């Protein structure tokens, strides 16, 4: 595998469509074994980013690399290293599941296509439907076939455009599980999604784009903290007593605290770093903890960011 750096790199990547700047100096990277989610409204540059990385579009400025291969100068090397699952995967409805995946294995000139196809079908959970015509399958099963096709050559990088779009909750959960399994095996995954709860569960980091500009990049917890404050909520099994109050109020990392009868909300200096110590203090003070959670979720943080004017705009 070429290169020892990140699996995916974008350095100041820009792309125009006529007068419209679809991507504005995007810089981000994805490590091997990491799932990074691209979030943003329609027209924010998410699909443009994937299409550039898939060598379907060339950047007008900046550099994009897959495993150190330059997508503009070394497109064939990039294409051998990636698996792509578009939102509308364009499967061949009048062919069988196996034939759809075998076509892709042969396109990649795999030395033992039959073994590769069998392995991909088994991983995606559609081996028992190998003889079925794709046109007879549900949307969820078609998405599984599309994933099998994308991974048949065992690419180290996977680009997914709305992989759970249109799926029912069970099928979407199954797709999340498959993506996690791929990441655990070391695959770098970059995906677009409008499902913020899915992104919070699945993604190691998220990048929020708007009008082609990267506004936030970090773990879901870091993004929530940046936009909503470093606030955690603690639910207790009993009433708050004096030892519990002393334990919290004497903790140097607590900037502010709000008390309820059997709960508290704390603003910490750094929620990711300080929450474990807060929990340890509560337990030492005799508190019985029912739940600890950050205040708000990724969806609330996203909506807060979208409500703000873009930096540098006239409204800012």
What is the rounded average pLDDT of the residues 45-69? 97
The predicted-structure confidence for 104-156, as pLDDT tens digits, reads as follows 999 999 999 999 999 999 999 999 999 999 999 999 999 999 999 999 999 99
Contacts of 128 (CB under 8 A, 6+ apart): none
The predicted-structure confidence for 264-297, as pLDDT tens digits, reads as follows 999 999 988 999 999 999 999 999 999 998 888 8
The predicted-structure confidence for 221-240, as pLDDT tens digits, reads as follows 899 888 888 899 999 999 99
DSSP-H helix ranges across 139-184: 139-151, 169-184
In 3D space, the residue among 250, 255, 277 whose CA is nearest the CA of residue 265 turns out to be 255
In the chain, how long is the greatest CA-to-CA distance? Answer: 71
Share of the chain above pLDDT 90, in %: 85
- Alpha carbon distance 296, 4 (integer Å): 37
Cβ burial of 48 (10 Å; 0-12, 13-18, 19+) is buried
- Give the confidence band of 3 by pLDDT, cuts at 50, 70, 90: very low
Per-residue pLDDT, 166 = 82
The predicted-structure confidence for 166-211, as pLDDT tens digits, reads as follows 888 998 999 999 999 999 999 999 999 999 999 999 999 999 999 9
Strand partners, 209: 214
- Alpha carbon distance 7, 188 (integer Å): 6
- Give the confidence band of 4 by pLDDT, cuts at 50, 70, 90: low
Q: Which helix (H) or strand (E) holds 209?
A: strand 205-210
Residue 211 near residue 308 (C-beta atoms within 8 A): no
The neighbour count for residue 288, using CB atoms within 10 Å, is 10
Q: Which domains occur in the chain, in start order?
A: 8-219 (3.40.50.300), 230-294 (3.30.70.100)
């Amino acid at each position: 595998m070429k290169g020892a750096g990140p699996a995916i790199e974008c350095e100041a990547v820009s792309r125009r469509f006529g007068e419209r700047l679809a991507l504005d100096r995007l810089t981000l990277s994805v490590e091997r074994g990491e799932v990074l989610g691209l979030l943003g409204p329609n027209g924010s540059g998410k699909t443009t980013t994937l299409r550039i990385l898939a060598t379907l579009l060339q950047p007008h400025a900046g550099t994009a690399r897959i495993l150190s291969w330059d997508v503009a100068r070394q497109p064939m090397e990039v294409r051998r290293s990636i698996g792509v699952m578009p939102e509308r995967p364009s499967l061949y409805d009048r062919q069988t599941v196996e034939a759809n995946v075998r076509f892709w294995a042969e396109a990649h000139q795999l030395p033992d296509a039959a073994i590769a196809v069998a392995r991909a079908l088994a991983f995606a959970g559609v081996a028992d439907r190998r003889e079925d015509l794709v046109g007879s399958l549900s949307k969820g099963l078609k998405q599984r076939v599309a994933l099998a096709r994308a991974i048949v050559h065992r690419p180290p990088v996977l680009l997914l455009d709305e992989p759970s779009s249109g799926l029912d909750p069970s099928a979407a959960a199954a797709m999340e599980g498959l993506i996690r399994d791929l990441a655990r095996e070391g695959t770098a995954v970059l995906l677009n999604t409008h499902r913020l709860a899915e992104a919070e569960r699945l993604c190691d980091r998220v990048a929020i784009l708007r009008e082609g500009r990267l506004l936030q990049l970090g773990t879901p917890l870091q993004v929530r903290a940046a936009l909503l404050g470093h606030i955690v909520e603690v639910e207790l099994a009993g009433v708050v007593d004096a030892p519990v109050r002393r334990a919290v109020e004497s903790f140097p990392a607590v900037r502010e605290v709000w008390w309820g009868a059997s709960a508290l909300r704390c603003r910490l200096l750094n929620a990711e770093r300080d929450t474990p110590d807060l929990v340890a203090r509560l337990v030492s003070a005799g508190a019985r903890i029912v739940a600890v959670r950050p205040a708000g979720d990724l969806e609330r943080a996203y909506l807060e960011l979208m409500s703000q004017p873009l930096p540098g705009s006239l409204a800012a």
